[in-house]
Structure 1
Amino acid sequence: MTDKPLSGRKAQAARNDKLILEAAQEVFVADPEAPIAEVAKRAGVGISALYRRYPSKEDLVRKLCSDGLARYTELVREALEDEGDPWEAFRAFMRGVVSADTPSITVKLAGTFTPTPDMFEAGVAADALNRALIVKLRDAGVLREEVENGDLALVTESIASINLGSGERTRELRLRALELYLEALRAPGAAPLPGTAPSEEEMGARWVPKNVKE
Structure 2
Amino acid sequence: MARYRGPKTKIARKFGEPIFGDDKSFEKRNYPPGQHGNNRRRGKKSEYAVQLMEKQKAKYTYGILERQFRNLFEKASKSQGITGEKLLQLCESRLDNVVFRMGIAPSRRAARQLVSHKHIVVNGEIVNIPSYQLRANDVVGVREKSKSLLAIQNSLSNNSATYEWITWNSEKLEGTYVNIPERLQIPENINEQYIVELYSK
Do they fold alike, i.e. is TM over 0.5?
A: no
Structure having the higher Rg: 1
| TM, length-normalised to structure 2 | 0.29
Q: Return the structure number with greater helix share.
A: 1
